[in-house]
Amino acid sequence: MTWHVSYRFGVVDLPAVDVLTKLGKASWSRTEAMAYEIAQEGVRQAIGFYARPIEAEEAAAEPDAAASRRTEQEAWAARGQELTPLDSRAIKRIRKEADDLLIIDDEDDDEDEDDEAGADDDLDEDDEEDDEDDGTLE
């Protein structure tokens, strides 16, 4: 079903609806705006970080653990709502804490990748490739 919506002339005051014209210019720089957006993304990532553990703990009938994680998730959401582009200290703090929460330890993975790559990636001086390469693997 489709509804046709129309406004009667004089009922909707369009200039009053346009609130953006009254906001004025931003009082923060592009750098501050970018740092703010990065911090907000960190908040969103932190909120998402808790989603899977909460779901798993609820499925495992561990309500206390799920409630604790949900409280942490809600705290991140509140921090994101309270954050302003001009609060550089809070932005730096949130970015650091989000990085600490979300960081993945890749040290073990890097060693595995090096082992998988093997020594054939580095050509010795004696192992120069032939000028005639037909594209087949040897």
Residue 48 falls inside a structural domain: yes
**pLDDT tens by residue, 52-64:** 999 999 898 888 8
Residue 35 falls inside a structural domain: yes
Quote the CA–CA distance of 49 and 73 in Å, as a whole number: 8
Residue 60 falls inside a structural domain: yes
Residue 33 falls inside a structural domain: yes
Residue 63 falls inside a structural domain: yes
Residue 44 falls inside a structural domain: yes
pTM for the structure as a whole: 0.59
**pLDDT tens by residue, 114-129:** 555 554 445 455 555 5
Q: Which domain holds residue 45?
A: 28-103
Number of domains in the chain: 1
